[in-house]
């Protein structure tokens, strides 16, 4: 395009070597709007010769319409003497059609009269500064988008949720128009698209699952474990001409295919299409790969979560089956044991005739062992109920004086048989705790029985209760063998009996402390232990006070 050189009045402005040597452009315009002077720097900036520019309309005549109106307003303001000190930020169009950003300062030309005869402008090329500012703004936008996407990925629990975050947040954040997330199939032979946006139904159906050995941007990216960047549809055609129909359907813009990797393992790939061409600067490539990396971490976390969930589900099923078996077994065993107990009682009462002393002794032993076996089965049944979450307990006010009166009757024969000095300290008659009376008694009996087993003949066992702050503490103290420090964490585990070996078996199932701990927890209480080897142990049941 040739500058408009229609003749018009133009006050003379002599050429200046100083102006020509300046690194900024200088141009003067007369009151008719034609250039009366330009320096060499300005001529080089816009790509015209000085001869072409002097006497012609300024280059803003070639600028886009949105710039022209703004500059015309600026010129009018300058002629009125109201030009801003900071100048104007504008964009010039060169002779070859390219543009550059510039800072324009305007001043009036008035040769001794009140009416200005034109204006003079200094033009500074600020393209580098503007490009830097835009790069910083782009980087800030990318960083913000990555933070939002990463934040959304942190709460995903499944592969589908991860893919949907990438589709709904990650791809729009980079300006993508279409995109997909594809993962390697479990057998490793195919690449399955699990989420996509912007593609036609036909494309999603035909390319929803691709053999991993096929020639396709995503499959090649997965096989080679490297990203691919295509600035335009032409560059895509050069590598994948056989996908012509699909390439045309996806538009003439850029495309990126980035692998999803954890370590050296490739999980799949992300594909993104843009509406326009794209240069893919190093910074943008790095950002896209960082986005893929965050997606990969979320996918791996989702995989581990799924594995853990399946393992937990299998364990819960196995545990439930075990509990159901124990409950059924306990129920079936209790029935014949109750029958045995009934017949033993009939015989001891003489219902079948008189018994000799030896016969009575034998029947007493049968009854003792029946009661012991019933107690073991009750332990197993209680444990099964606790494990299954079917244990029912009350939380009502319970008189601790009543509890301490009932418990000794149940354990004194055991203490006497073991030659143990047992004592129950009286408590405040008004001491009340929240819980289930029968369960509190069961815990106390379990703890006292456990203390009796651990205490040698001549030792001592004590039971006491008191209120401390908002808790009612029930303590069972013994002078037994004590518990090693490294075993304190396991004694409440089911089927645990310290010192039990094949050559030195101990009576019981090893469920007493586990059941007691479960009962305490069900009542909102806590069961703890303090112990020292050779000096004894103290178990504390901490109940809530009303």
Element (H, E) at 182: strand 178-184
* pLDDT given at position 409: 85
pLDDT value for 85? 66
DSSP β-bridge partners for residue 118: 30, 109
Q: Give the global pTM.
A: 0.49
The full set of domain ranges for the chain reads 17-125, 156-280, 328-388, 396-544
Q: Beta partners for 538?
A: 477, 530
Q: Return phi, psi of residue 129, to 5°.
A: -65, -40
Q: Residue 357: what pLDDT?
A: 86
In CATH terms, are 17-125 and 156-280 the same topology?
A: yes
CB 136: neighbour CB atoms within 10 A?
10
CA pair distance 21, 25, nearest whole angstrom: 10
Q: Specify the CATH architecture of the domain 17-125.
A: 2-Layer Sandwich (3.30)
Q: What is the model's pLDDT at position 77? A: 65
Query: What per-residue confidence (pLDDT) applies to 79?
Result: 57
pLDDT tens digits for the chain (546 residues)?
455 555 444 444 444 566 777 889 998 888 777 888 899 999 999 998 888 898 888 765 556 666 667 666 766 666 565 666 667 788 888 888 888 888 888 777 766 555 557 778 888 998 888 888 877 777 777 777 777 777 888 888 888 888 888 888 888 888 888 899 999 998 999 999 999 988 888 888 888 899 999 999 999 999 999 999 999 888 888 888 888 777 667 667 899 999 999 999 999 999 999 988 888 988 889 888 988 998 899 889 888 888 888 888 887 787 777 777 767 777 777 788 888 888 888 888 888 888 888 888 888 888 777 776 777 777 777 766 776 666 778 899 999 999 999 898 888 888 988 899 999 998 999 999 999 998 899 889 889 988 998 899 999 999 999 999 999 999 999 999 998 888 887 787 765 555 443 333 344 456 778 888 888 888 899 999 999 998 999 999 999 998
What architecture does CATH give domain 396-544?
Answer: 2-Layer Sandwich (3.30)
Write out the two tokens for 392: 């029912």
- The pLDDT value given to residue 7: 44
Helix 400-417 × helix 437-454 angle, to 10°: 30
Supply 423's token pair: 């004592």
User: Which residues are 228's β-sheet partners?
Assistant: 257
CB-based contacts of 167, cutoff 8 Å, min separation 6: 179, 180, 181, 195, 196, 197
Instruction: Tell me if 57 sits within 8 A of 33, measured CB to CB.
Output: yes
- Here the tokens at position 52 are 């072409």
Note the pLDDT of residue 504: 36
Cβ count within 10 A of residue 81: 10
CA distance 431 to 199: 74
Looking at residue 254, its pLDDT comes to 92
Q: Where are the beta strands (DSSP E) in 126-274?
A: 178-184, 190-197, 209-211, 228-230, 255-262, 265-273
Domain 156-280 has CATH 3.40.50.740: no
Chain position carrying tokens 């090649």: 220
Sheet holding 118-125, edge to edge: 35-38, 25-30, 118-125, 99-109, 88-93
């Amino acid at each position: 395009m040739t500058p408009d050189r229609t003749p018009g009045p133009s006050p003379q402005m002599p050429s200046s070597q100083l102006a020509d040597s300046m690194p900024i452009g200088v141009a003067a315009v007369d009151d008719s709007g034609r250039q009366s002077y330009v320096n060499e720097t300005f001529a080089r900036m816009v790509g015209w010769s000085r001869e072409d520019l002097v006497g012609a309309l300024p280059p803003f005549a070639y600028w886009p319409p949105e710039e022209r109106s703004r500059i015309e307003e600026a010129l009018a303001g300058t002629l009125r003497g109201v030009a801003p000190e900071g100048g104007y930020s504008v964009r010039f169009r060169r002779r070859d059609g390219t543009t550059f950003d510039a800072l324009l300062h305007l001043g009036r030309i008035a040769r001794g009269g009140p009416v200005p005869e034109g204006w003079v402008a200094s033009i500074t090329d600020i393209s580098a500064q503007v490009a830097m500012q835009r790069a910083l703004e782009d980087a800030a936008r990318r960083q913000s988008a990555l933070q939002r996407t990463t934040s959304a990925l942190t709460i995903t629990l499944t592969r589908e949720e991860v893919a949907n975050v990438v589709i709904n947040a990650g791809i729009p954040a980079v300006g993508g128009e279409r995109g997909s997330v594809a993962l390697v199939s479990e057998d490793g032979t195919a690449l399955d698209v699990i989420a996509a946006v912007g593609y036609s139904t036909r494309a999603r159906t035909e390319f929803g699952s691709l053999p991993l050995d096929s020639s396709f941007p995503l499959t090649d990216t997965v096989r080679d474990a490297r990203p691919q960047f295509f600035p335009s549809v032409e560059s895509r055609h050069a590598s994948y001409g056989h996908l012509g129909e699909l390439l045309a359907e996806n538009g003439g813009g850029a495309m990126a295919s980035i692998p999803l990797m954890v370590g050296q393992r490739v999980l799949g790939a992300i594909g993104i299409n843009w509406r326009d061409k794209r240069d893919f600067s190093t910074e943008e490539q790095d950002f896209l790969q960082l986005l893929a990396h965050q997606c990969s971490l979320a996918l791996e976390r989702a995989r581990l979560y799924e594995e853990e969930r399946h393992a937990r589900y299998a364990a819960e099923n196995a545990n439930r089956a075990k509990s159901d078996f124990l409950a059924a077994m306990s129920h079936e065993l209790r029935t014949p044991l109750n029958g045995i107990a009934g017949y033993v009682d009939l015989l001891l009462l003489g219902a079948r005739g008189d018994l000799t002393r030896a016969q009575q002794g034998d029947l007493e032993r049968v009854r003792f062992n029946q009661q012991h076996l019933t107690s073991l089965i009750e332990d197993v049944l209680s444990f099964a109920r606790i494990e299954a979450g079917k244990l029912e307990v009350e939380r009502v006010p319970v008189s601790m004086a009543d509890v301490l009166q009932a418990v000794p009757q149940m354990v004194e024969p055991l203490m006497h048989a073991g030659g143990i000095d047992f004592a129950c300290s009286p408590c405040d008659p008004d001491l009340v705790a929240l819980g289930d009376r029968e369960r509190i008694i069961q815990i106390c009996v379990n703890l006292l029985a456990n203390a009796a087993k651990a205490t040698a003949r001549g030792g001592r066992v004590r039971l006491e209760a008191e209120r401390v702050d908002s808790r009612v503490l029930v303590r069972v103290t013994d002078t037994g063998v004590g518990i090693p420090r490294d075993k304190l964490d396991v004694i409440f585990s089911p089927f645990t009996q310290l010192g039990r070996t094949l050559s030195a078996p101990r009576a019981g199932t090893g469920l007493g402390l586990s059941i007691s701990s479960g009962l305490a927890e069900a009542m909102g209480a806590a069961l703890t232990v303090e112990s020292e080897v050779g000096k004894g142990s103290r178990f504390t049941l901490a109940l809530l006070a009303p």
